[in-house]
Structure 1
């Protein structure tokens, strides 16, 4: 178990990212997703990560149904701030106090809970001072509708300003062997402030599973087809990096997935990766990574095989909405 921040919730070493159960990564099966969530709880995974925009809205409803009879076993983290249009496309970011309150009420209703364990600002609205957004969030905590607060893809100075209004339990940002930007400044700031870190996409959005060799491995509606790292000019380079990791994984008798997750876990007990999956089989593979102990020699070898900044292509087509 790991604690998110000095006074945040106690969560499992690995959480479960639920986004793909309702959108983004091709087809899904609600029944299998519910079975996967139940299996996660059976295995001791208690952190479930979702957002109002996933679906949109249907992912929160799915989780609400899945945990209705097991509420005391789970820490639910959901997010607000990305505004979607009728066609499901993100049309903007809203951090206004009125939107904060409206979004929270919607998430509580869809999840079917009285309180949200971790409420996260999904993206920073640069048109609204962060102090205004976080004053509204702090009000939700005082009202008993939210237990802990978090923020996603925020720059260090933004985190400091939010934390001055109300303690930040965790910052959520992409972090993996192929996305190591938080090491440059963010992690140091979080540790100085006693803030936890939730690592999303710890498997590089599937790159670090070793199961993607070309765009043909992705469904036609898989959003990764829009991401620079999966484009024709970048993917061969990135899969070559993964092949290096796979050879080391073979020496340990584990999968490349497990080695990649073990690497994230080894970066600090204040870091909680939330690999996403839609099936019980992949879930079991992921959870087994928590038992893999890497030596200093293993970590040095991975640093040499996949140096920081070695992945080709940005994380998103438009990076202007992250690290604000």
Structure 2
């Protein structure tokens, strides 16, 4: 699998990463998912302290034991919760973030984490204090590099202007092209990697697209109505079939085309999903083929019909 440099770091992440949120609580199944991923070229695992209120990090920690040196481990923090409670609140304070990092490391069984990401954020947050906290954690050797998980351009730019962040995780796909408006080029210019979530459009950009639309698209998506969304999915499937590729292969090529994008973070709840994602990745059309041959006609059929 191809790897791409993470920001300006010395790390190179696989173009497909494993999003660990949907691993579940069955440790045997979770370990099988991670094993399937890591034995087939995926070196980037992404979790967060909020997933399962810490339980997800524990499961990931057990699964990577003995294989740490071959992997890039990322987690996130900023959501304050107490053990045994199901509620949480946003807390980007220095006191909380420092405690959160240490708790994440304990759960993961690690001395340090490769990438620590602020799990959200608003422009009203004490950004200078957050930056100071991250820099102190780096100096203490607890985190190697810093990232954000955010779709807010003003928050992203505030951090890029204040510190050397390595990555931004954001939603991006053929049906969510918001990052194309003002973020992808900006981040590429600043040598910040984009880690994409949602590249398969909640499963609607896969060979199960219409089935997923029936359960997830009845209220539309972003500014698409339900019918516009259905039409888009049908056109993606038609284009993919006409060129003998899967819809997910088409979707992956689209999301990977921009040079700012380093990795697509794809979740899985069982090993077969990992295998299908990898099969689509390896069978995807090249980006140049996609944009020179497939996408112009697809855009004509769909995007020009979408209401302004």
Are the aligned partners of 1:261 and 1:286 in contact in 2 as well (CA < 8 Å)? no
What do the CA deviations read for 1:264-283 (whole angstroms, capped 9, x no partner)? Answer: 11222643111111222221
Number of residue equivalences: 299
Q: Quote how far apart the aligned CAs of 1:31 are.
A: 1.8
Q: Does 1:203 align with 2:207?
A: no
Q: Does 1:286 align with 2:277?
A: yes
Which of 52, 57, 61 pairs up with 1:55? Answer: 52
Question: How far apart are the structure 1 equivalents of 2:86 and 2:305?
Answer: 32
Q: What is the aligned partner in structure 1 of residue 144 from structure 2?
A: 147
Q: Quote how far apart the aligned CAs of 1:84 are.
A: 4.6
Q: Does 1:254 align with 2:216?
A: no
Which of 244, 265, 271 pairs up with 1:274? Answer: 265
**CA distance 1:268–1:126, shift in 2 (3 Å):** closer
Which of 8, 14, 17 pairs up with 1:15? Answer: 17
Task: Could you tell me which runs of 5 or more consecutive residues in structure 2 were left unpaired when the two chains were aligned.
Answer: none
Question: How far apart are the structure 2 equivalents of 1:195 and 1:3?
Answer: 10
Q: What is the aligned partner in structure 1 of residue 294 from structure 2?
A: 298
TM (normalized to structure 1)?
0.83
Question: How far apart are the structure 2 equivalents of 1:119 and 1:139?
Answer: 13
Question: How far apart are the structure 2 equivalents of 1:180 and 1:164?
Answer: 24
Are the aligned partners of 1:178 and 1:308 in contact in 2 as well (CA < 8 Å)? no
Q: What is the aligned partner in structure 1 of residue 86 from structure 2?
A: 88
Q: What is the aligned partner in structure 1 of residue 166 from structure 2?
A: 169
Question: How far apart are the structure 2 equivalents of 1:253 and 1:51?
Answer: 37
Question: How far apart are the structure 1 equivalents of 2:213 and 2:86?
Answer: 24
TM (normalized to structure 2)?
0.87
**CA distance 1:10–1:271, shift in 2 (3 Å):** closer
Q: What is the aligned partner in structure 2 of residue 240 from structure 1?
A: 231
Q: Quote how far apart the aligned CAs of 1:252 are.
A: 2.6
Q: Quote how far apart the aligned CAs of 1:140 are.
A: 0.6
Q: Quote how far apart the aligned CAs of 1:211 are.
A: 2.1
Are the aligned partners of 2:44 and 2:74 in contact in 1 as well (CA < 8 Å)? yes
Are the aligned partners of 1:21 and 1:59 in contact in 2 as well (CA < 8 Å)? yes
Q: Quote how far apart the aligned CAs of 1:87 are.
A: 5.5
Root-mean-square deviation over aligned CA pairs? 2.8
SS in 2 for 1:163: helix
